[in-house]
Structure 1
Amino acid sequence: MDFARDVPPYVAKPLELLPFRALMLAPARVGDPASARALARPYRDVAARLLDWIEQGRAIADSGPALYVHEYTAGGLTVRGLVGALAMSRRSASMADRAVWPHEAIHHEQAGELADRMHQMDLNPAPILLVHHGVAELRELLAGVTRARPEWRYLDRSGQRQRIWAIRDADLLARIGELLSETRCLLADGHHRYAAYLRLQQEHPGTAWDTGLAMLVDQDDTPLFLGAIHRTLPGTTLDGLVDAARAAGASVAEHGRRRALGALDSTHLVLTDGATWHTVSPGDLDRDAAVSWLHDRVLPGLPREPMRVDHHHNVDDALAATSASSPAVLLPSPDFDQVRALVESGGLLPEKATSFQPKPSLGAIMRPLTDA
């Protein structure tokens, strides 16, 4: 199995989110899968293609640089984030000066492919998501911004409700910068894009590639939902999983489907082949995440290595892919503070360990590098 093992470098304090001139798809095209063709191959033509779209009214370029408050609602959950160009040129020398904390390893080759693609496009097509516990004054400042009428407000094609405010006042931008300077944040989504940003900065220092598009969400204000990503393991068996879990010191019990699924919580996993159901209690998850225990203690003990690990963002999708030759491991949702404490003590989670939701629709805010 080809697990991600590379750890991207850490961006150092002070955390800086800098103004940029946003590019957006027109409201009728945000969230429309057909709009993805604007960002499709050949990537070297994307910048010119988007200029054509602006002339045709299918995309919008802001009038000048700004930081943006982006508030979006999906499935009844509202998320508010501060969007800017994240300064990437400083690398941390110690744990104490780390501003951005990745929580998953990455595949170096995948990050390189993304870097090459963005360089050809001259574009950051979507922000990475950063999460922190913000200070009260910053929350109050951003709440004040959102009391004004948004500059863009619409329901997109996917059903997300978008509201975007531009912050251009120099004094307000300066105060926001001061409040952000000592922030340390968890990289919630976009680990490979973050690594691609770092590679592009290293290859093109002193240019617009010194920064990368990011959205910073205050988990104490409008928290992202943190869900589990479940696994199916083609090529192994349920009996092999059960034996490996017991060998790793867990208590394993067979139950019916309803009881097993009802036991899926912060201290239990569920193993199933669709016909037989087992609950698994590792017993020491107060010190470790369930997904780490699975990858570090159980999978290495399987009598037959799976052909691959398939990932599923909800239980129904995982069970639809489950069979006698592809058993499922249903994982409990991790806790934000547990993940943060783990990474700030020097640990990492396996790839695709967490699912921060909802993410903003593609095209709501992009950053052209030719105009940065």
Structure 2
Amino acid sequence: MELASVVPPYVATPLELLPFRAVMLAPERVGDPASARALARPYRDVAARLEQWIAQGRATADTAPAIYLHEYTVGGLTVRGLVGALSMSRRATSFDERAVWPHEAIHPEQAGELADRMLQMDLNPAPILLVHHGRAQLREIVTSVSQSAPDWRYLDRTGQRQRIWAIRDADTLAGIAGLLATTRCLLADGHHRYAAYLRLQEEHPGTPWDTGLAMLVDQDDTPLFLGAIHRTFPGTTLIDLLGASRAAGAQVTPHERHQALLALDSTHFVLTDGESWHVVTPPALPQDAPVSWVHDSVLPRLTRSEVRVMHHHNVDEALAAAGPAAPAVLLPSPDFEQVRALVESGGLLPEKATSFQPKPSLGVLMRPVLGG
């Protein structure tokens, strides 16, 4: 098993979210799988392809730089956040200086591939998601902006309702900058893109690659839902997983399917091959989430070298992939405050331990870098 093990550097305070000139797909193309062609290989042609789409009316470029308030609604959930170019040029050397806190490790080669792709495209195709507890004054600014008529408003191809405001007023931008300067935020989604931003900044200092596209969501205003990402382990068996769990000190109790699923909570997880169901109670978890305990205490006790880790965003998907040669681990949803406390004390969760939802559709706000 090749697990992510490298922690990207921490961006240092003051947190800066800078204006940029957005490129946006036309409303009828946002979220359309066919629109992915605009961002497909060869990546070196993407900038020219987007210019062609703009000329054809299939995309638009904003007239001037702005910080954007982006609000999207899907499935009854509304999320809004400030979208801007996040300054990446300062690195924290102490805990107190850290402005952006990753909660997962990354694969350097994957981050390198993303950096090379963005460099060829001259584009940040989607924002990373940052989450924080915003100050009351910042929420007042966001609320005030959101009460005015949006600059763009539409329903996209996926059913997300989009509303976007371009913030250009100098006093409003100055107020946002002052309130964000001391913000400490959790990197919710986009760890490899964040690492790619850092690599591009290191390789091209003093250029627009000093920044990367980010959306900052206030968890006290329009919180993202934090869900679990389940696992299957092709290459091992349920018996092996049960034995490794017991050897690590866990209590393992067989149950019927319904009872097992009801037992999922912050201190229990479920092992199954689709036929046999077992609730696992790890020893005391003073801070670690069950997913951390699985990776730190169970997986190292599996002796088969060919074991792989597959990730699934819902129980049905995990169970569809489970079987005698690929047992599943069904995990409870982590708690946002638990994740935040863990990372701010120096800990990390395993790769793909959390799923922050809903995410915005692709193509709403993109950032040309050198050409913007």
Whether the TM-score (by the shorter chain) exceeds 0.5 is yes
Q: How far is 1:305 from its partner?
A: 4.1
> Do the aligned partners of 2:122 and 2:371 also contact (CA within 8 Å) in 1?
no
2:47 counterpart residue number: 47
2:11 aligned with 1:11: yes
2:206 aligned with 1:215: no
1:230 counterpart residue number: 230
> Do the aligned partners of 1:131 and 1:188 also contact (CA within 8 Å) in 2?
yes
SS in 2 for 1:365: coil
SS in 2 for 1:370: coil
Name the CA distance, whole Å, in 1 between partners of 2:325 and 2:127: 38
Q: How far is 1:284 from its partner?
A: 1.9
2:160 aligned with 1:160: yes
Per-residue CA deviations over 1:56-78 (Å, capped at 9, x if unaligned) read: 00001011000000000111111
2:89 aligned with 1:89: yes
Per-residue CA deviations over 1:197-230 (Å, capped at 9, x if unaligned) read: 0000000000000000000000011000000000
2:270 aligned with 1:270: yes
Instruction: For 1:137-286, list aligned pairs within 5 A.
Output: 137-286=137-286
Per-residue CA deviations over 1:256-310 (Å, capped at 9, x if unaligned) read: 0010011111111000011100001113223211111000001111243453100
Identity, in percent, stands at 76
Structure 2: tracts of 5 or more residues without a match: none
Per-residue CA deviations over 1:301-343 (Å, capped at 9, x if unaligned) read: 1243453100000000000000011000001100111111111
> Do the aligned partners of 2:229 and 2:313 also contact (CA within 8 Å) in 1?
yes
CA RMSD of aligned residues (A): 0.8
1:326 counterpart residue number: 326
Instruction: For 1:64-83, list aligned pairs within 5 A.
Output: 64-83=64-83
Q: Which moved more, 1:110-119 or 1:302-311?
A: 302-311
Name the CA distance, whole Å, in 2 between partners of 1:247 and 1:145: 56
Name the CA distance, whole Å, in 2 between partners of 1:149 and 1:172: 16
Name the CA distance, whole Å, in 2 between partners of 1:68 and 1:371: 19
Structure 1: tracts of 5 or more residues without a match: none
2:292 counterpart residue number: 292
> How many residues are aligned here?
372
Give structure 1 regions of 4+ aligned residues with deviation exceeding 4 angstroms. none
Q: TM-score, normalised by structure 2?
A: 0.99
SS in 1 for 2:370: helix
SS in 1 for 2:148: coil
Q: How far is 1:115 from its partner?
A: 0.3
2:348 aligned with 1:359: no
> Do the aligned partners of 1:21 and 1:371 also contact (CA within 8 Å) in 2?
no
The AA in structure 2 aligned to 1:211 is: T
SS in 1 for 2:71: strand
